[in-house]
Amino acid sequence: MQRLIINGGKRLCGEIRVQGAKNSALPLLAGCLLAEGRTVLRRCPELTDVFAACRILNELGCKCSFRKDTAVTDPVGADGYRITEELMREMRSSIVFLGAVLGKTGRCELSYPGGCELGPRPIDMHLNALKQLGVRICEEHGRISCTCPKGIRGAVIDLPFPSVGATENIMLAAACAEGDTVIRNAAREPEIADLADYLNRCGADIRGTGCSTLRICGVKKLHGCEYEVMPDRIAAATYMAAAASTGGELGLIGIKCDDVQAVTAVFEEMGAAVYCTNDRIFISCVKPLKAVRMIRTMPYPGFPTDAQALVMAALTTARGSSMIVENIFESRFRHVDELVRMGADIKVSGRTAVIQGVKKLCGANVRAHDLRGGAALTVAALGAEGISSVEGVCYIDRGYELIENVLRSVGADIRREF
C-alpha cells in the first residue's frame, strides 16, 4: 500500500500553478458524448477519477485518449448505453454519465455509483428529474435501466435541494431535448457554469448559470470544440490550508478569487493575509492563527463541504475554540480520529465539530478514509513536529495530481513510499 512520508515543520514558500478542476472535468468528459465530432479538453487533471471517466467513455464506444493535461474524445459511432458495475463503482461522480448517455442514445443501463464513503448520497433527485423529462426508469437487482419511448422532452423541474449532480444530469439530458427545460433551485457552483460554457461552445443554448433558475433550450445537435477546464477551487483551498498549517506564504496561479471567496474569508478571519488579482491568490500566514467562531458548510456560494476537512486541519493549532457544522454529508468527519491521533483536540456531536486549538501537532501514522480527509491529514502532517505516515494515498490521487511533487516544489519534506 502506498503512503506519504512527511517530515513536518517546514514553512511552505513559493508559487503553485493550480490544476484543472476534478469536479468540472468529470461532467465535461460525460458531455463529450453528446458532441458530433472531436473534443479537445485542455488543463484536464491527471487523476484516477479522470482516468476512470475515460474508461467509461471507451466502454461506450467513444474514442478517448489522454496525454499530459489534454483529453481528446471522438464519439462518432459511439452507441453504447451500458456501463458495467465495475466502472460505476470506481467513483461517485460516475452517475453524471446517466444524463449524457440518455441524451446520446435515448437509453441507459448502469448500477449505483461507488467512490468515497461520505454517507447517503441518494440519486432519487436525479431519477425523479429525468422522469419529468420523459424517461422511464426501472430499478432491479442494483441496476438502473432507463428508456425514452417518446424522446426526451423539456419540462419545468423544481429541485428540492440545489444538487450539483442532479443539475448536471438534467443539463446533459436536456441539451438536445425537444423543447425547453427550466431548472428551479438549480445548483450555482462554478463547475455548473463551466459545464454550461462547454456545452454552449458546442452549440447548446443554456442560460442563467450562477442563478437559481437555469434554462436549457433544446437544440438538434452539438458539435465538438476545444475547451479548457476551469481551475480547481478545492485544490486551491488545500494549498491555502497547507500554508496556514506551516506558517508559510504561497502564491496560487491560475485561480479565480471569486470561486473561493467563502474559503478566503475564513482564512482572513484566522489572521492570514490574502491578496487577490484576476487569476492568482497570495496568502501569507506568518502570524499565529486565530480560531473562527463558526463555519457552516452550504451549497455555493456558501462554504464548500469539500473544504471542511482542510480548514479543520489548519484550525487544530489556531488559538481558541472553533466550531464547524457539516450540513451536506452525514459522514464527513472520518478524518477527526486521525487528527486526534496527531494531538488535535476535537469533539464531534452529530454534524458539529468543536476544535480547541493546541500548541502543536505531533507526527503519527494515520490513514485516509476519503479524498478530502486524506488531503487534510497531509495538511496537518506538514505543520506537525516530527515524521508522519499518511496511508490511503489512493484516495488522495482521486483529486490531486501527485500532491507530493507539488508540495515538495514549495519546500515540503515529503515523499511517496510504495
30: CB partners within 8 A, 6+ apart: 53, 96, 97, 99, 100, 168, 172
Q: Pick from 33, 49, 22, 48: which is nearest to 81 by CA?
A: 33
Q: CA of 187: how far to CAs of 45, 100, 155, 210, in Å?
A: 23, 18, 17, 8
Outline where 211-282 has alpha helix (H): 233-246, 261-269
Annotated binding residue at 92? yes
Beta bridge partners of 282: 251, 275
Q: What DSSP letter does each residue of 186-197 carry, written as one string?
A: ----HHHHHHHH
Distance CA 212, CA 307 (A): 22
C-alpha cell belonging to residue 11 = 514553512
Burial letters for 170-186: b for 16+ Cβ neighbours within 10 Å, e otherwise?
bbbbbbbbeeebbbebb
Annotated binding residue at 405? no
Distance CA 171, CA 192 (A): 9
CB 355 within 8 A of CB 344: yes
DSSP 129: H
Grid cell 470506481 in the structure block, residue: 90
Distance CA 133, CA 277 (A): 42
Q: Which amino acid is at 410?
A: V
Grid cell 466502472 in the structure block, residue: 87
How many C-beta atoms surround the C-beta of residue 359 within 10 A?
Answer: 8
75: CB partners within 8 A, 6+ apart: 32, 33, 34, 35, 36, 57, 61, 62, 63, 104
Q: What values do phi and psi take at 105, rounded to 5?
A: -115, -15
Annotated binding residue at 22? yes
Q: Is 362 a catalytic residue?
A: no
67: CB partners within 8 A, 6+ apart: none
Catalytic residue chosen out of the listed positions 116, 146, 148, 257 = 116
Q: Which residues are catalytic, by number?
A: 116
Binding residue numbers for UDP-N-acetyl-alpha-D-glucosamine:
92, 306, 328
Binding residue numbers:
22-23, 92, 306, 328
Binding residue numbers for phosphoenolpyruvate:
22-23
